Amino acid sequence: METTLHSLYLGFSVALEPHNAWYAFLGCVVGTLVGVLPGIGPLAGISILLPVTFGLNATQAIIMLAGIYYGSQYGGSTTSILMRIPGEASSVMTCIDGYAMAQKGRAGAALCIAAVGSWIGGTFGVLVLTVVAPPLATLAVKFGPPEYTALLVLGLIFLAYMSSTSLIRTLLMASLGLMLGMIGIDNMTGDFRYSFNLAELGDGIGIVPVAVGLFGLGEILSTPSADAVKNVIAPKLRELLPTRKEWREAVMPISRATVLGFIIGIIPGSAHIISSFLSYALERRLSKHPEQFGKGAVAGVAGPETANNAASTGAFVPLLALGIPTSPITAVLIGALMIHGVSVGPTLVNDHPDVFWGFVASMYVGNLMLLALNLPLVSLFVTVLRIPYAYLYPMIIMFCIIGVYETNNSVVDVWIMLIMGVLGYALRKFEFDPAPLVLGLVIAPILEQSLRQSLIMSNGDYLIFLSRPISLGLFAVSAGLLTLAAISFATKRRDWRATLAEAEAGEVET
Amino acid sequence: MTLRADHVAGAFFIAFGLLVIAVSGSLPFGNLASPGSGFMPVILSVLLILFGGTLMVRAGESRPFATLTWSDAKHAAMVVLITMLAIAAFEPLGFITANVAMMFALLVVIERRRLAPAAIYSVGVVVFTFVLFVYVLKTPLETGPLGF
């Protein structure tokens, strides 16, 4: 514990350096804007802004990008409450009661509760991350190729099981992502795969053009400007404070959602989306007045908003301790650190303590900044929402092009982004979630290498995965999840995932 | 039988899986003790075909293909076309010219905005961004024959 406190002291000394604090602040502001603007989610936002960090050192880059990530969670609540438009997917549940509160003249109170809940959820997450990540990293050093294979397979199956669409659709997307990850030079043999004599494809398809195409351009193609809503409720500063009754109603939902969100955040998948849904469902079930949900229940805002921020922080545990991305966003963050010559994994805490602890400490600071930013500046962020979408999306396309081009100074990457944009549009039409595709693309090289190394180690014997306790345990969990999914499919049982799918499609019962 | 969305999607993934297997012929598969560079792609192609087939079998749960709405397709196609032209012009003409032309075309052709505001907005945003990236953030952008 003493070592952790000492390390945290080191982290704060890094995070509070004026330059680093400035980049945390900048990340928070940009992240809030990303969250506020419909049509540009945290993943596209981080990907587009990745080249901006090239001139920074690794610590400053990760501090800024993480600020964008959790800033977008805060920002997403603003559009949900004021316009009934989720700035990003994890704010879907906040729309229901947040907008209902706004219509009753309690928009300010809803924003304040969302901001305070987000701060508590985020800060709790960082506290646990501080304690849990280093010992977990020590354990992860014992992982060999079979354990990594088992862990990545479990991650994919967990993602598919937790998916709100369907197991098959998620696995299809993940397989397509893994397939795209096969493009380029094979690390183990040096063979060129599917590069079609294009030198730029030798290094494979980058995550940035794929993420920006699927989530940035794809979203724009699916949103004709005539469909963009402009009706905004603007709260006044003096209306921001909730009443004592509203605070009382928010306390328990915030407490429960903090723990729930963090635990779900550790699990692979779109944790911040799932956590907000589960928190909403939990609060409605525990409430003495469930009939108020959908009509402006404070718990319906406090729970989901706290949970999605706690989950965002929880997602950093497997990232920092194991070097494994549990979501496309954390995958982009890994890519960012690799560009700066820092390999993420169990050795990060020892090899780059300034990066690790500086990043952790910056999250404490960043969450505090966001609390201070979001409430007084809400009117400013609302002004941004008044820019006509017809003027906004050409600018977003331009930033997509810059973001992708600057990563490798390659026009081929920009063409890939365009193709991915069209693919993203088509996938939305056929109700596929593109997030598992990005995750598949990122883990493809790690999964392929660990699988092939495992087979070489065992001279082609698949039993190597069942003869080692950790990989056996992980595969057993995978098998359990597949069995649960099969039972659910066979009995045609309607569970929470079906309701989540409806909620994400905007069909939730209000 | 009604053609459903998942019939089309499943058929696409099966075709894609078969295509990958077809173009993977030159990649060595190896064996279990020494997997080659074609090992994973073939496994993944088989998975794509299997999952695509399952999707087709369960297609009854999806919407009829005819009910998919394509009202936004014209807008999307126009945006793609203009963006394609801008990407093609990016290296020969440089960042500023290509992006001003793209934004102006998006605003005037698709959004039917008036010429003067569209031109002022396009030039203003692109030049500001160029200055921000090149002079403030020190990240070079593609320049054209006129040096910008």
H/E/C letters for each residue in A379-440?
HHHHHHHCCCHHHHHHHHHHHHHHHHHHHHCCHHHHHHHHHHHHHHHHHHHCCCCCHHHHHH
B45, B10: one domain:
yes
Of the partner residues A191, A406, A415, the one whose CB lies closest to the CB of residue B139: A406
Domain that holds residue B55: 5-67
Residues of B in contact with A490 (CB under 8 A): none
Quote the mean pLDDT of chain B: 91
Q: Which residue has the tokens 């911040």?
A: A272
Answer whether residue B95 shows pLDDT above 80: yes
* Cα distance between residue A311 and residue A307, in whole Å: 6
A360 has a chain B CB within 8 A of its CB: no
**What residue of B is the nearest CA neighbor of A188?**
B37
Of the partner residues A182, A425, A460, the one whose CB lies closest to the CB of residue B31: A460
- CB distance A391–B32 less than 8 Å? no
B86, B123: one domain:
yes
Nearest CA-CA distance, residue A214 and chain B, Å: 13
How many domains, chain B? 2
**C-alpha dihedral sign at A417, A421, A422, A428:** positive
A 180-219: CB under 8 A from B:
182, 186, 188-189, 191, 193-194, 217
Residue B33 counted as domain residue: yes
pLDDT at A507: 43
Instruction: Please report the ipTM that was assigned to this predicted complex.
Output: 0.94
Residues of A in contact with B113 (CB under 8 A): 390-391
Residue B148 counted as domain residue: no
Residue with more model confidence, B90 or A225: B90
B62, B17: one domain:
yes
- CB distance A397–B137 less than 8 Å? no
* Cα distance between residue A23 and residue A45, in whole Å: 16
Structure tokens at A225: 């400007």
A418 has a chain B CB within 8 A of its CB: yes
Inter-CA distances, A265 with A276, A290, A398, Å: 11, 26, 33
Tell me the pLDDT tens digit for each residue of B42-72.
Answer: 999 999 999 999 999 988 888 899 988 888 8
B11, B53: one domain:
yes
Residue B46 counted as domain residue: yes
A498 has a chain B CB within 8 A of its CB: no
pLDDT band at B28 (very low <50, low <70, confident <90, very high): very high
Residue B42 counted as domain residue: yes
Residues of A in contact with B86 (CB under 8 A): 401
Q: Which of B67, B88, B113 is the last residue of a domain?
A: B67
* Cα distance between residue A296 and residue A284, in whole Å: 12
Q: Which of B22, B40, B67 is the last residue of a domain?
A: B67
B77, B100: one domain:
yes
Query: What is the DSSP secondary structure assignment for residue B64, as one 8-state letter?
Result: B
B84, B123: one domain:
yes
Report residue A423 CA to chain centroid gap. 21
A172 has a chain B CB within 8 A of its CB: yes
- CB distance B40–A451 less than 8 Å? yes
pLDDT at A234: 65
Q: Which of B67, B90, B121 is the last residue of a domain?
A: B67
Tell me the pLDDT tens digit for each residue of B71-81.
Answer: 889 999 999 99
A401 has a chain B CB within 8 A of its CB: yes
pLDDT at A278: 82
Inter-CA distances, A309 with A71, A115, A298, A384, Å: 9, 10, 17, 23
Mean pLDDT by 10 residues, chain A (510 residues): 74 86 88 76 77 81 84 78 70 83 86 87 83 76 85 80 76 93 90 86 86 85 67 66 90 93 76 78 86 88 90 81 74 78 75 82 82 76 78 89 84 94 93 84 87 93 90 91 80 61 50
B62, B78: one domain:
no
Strand, coil or helix: what is B4? strand
B47, B100: one domain:
no
State mean pLDDT over B105-119.
Answer: 94
All residues at 6 or more sequence positions from A434 whose CB lies less than 8 Å from its CB, including other chains: A173, A214, A215, A218, A423, A424, A427, A428
Residue B147 counted as domain residue: no
B12, B41: one domain:
yes
Q: How many cross-chain Cβ pairs, A to B, lie less than 8 Å apart?
A: 154
B14, B58: one domain:
yes
pLDDT at A231: 62
A421 has a chain B CB within 8 A of its CB: yes
B42, B91: one domain:
no
Residue B144 counted as domain residue: no
State mean pLDDT over B22-29.
Answer: 89
Beta bridge partners of A310: none
B60, B79: one domain:
no
Residue B108 counted as domain residue: yes
Structure tokens at A64: 């800024």
Residue B143 counted as domain residue: no
pTM of the shown model: 0.81
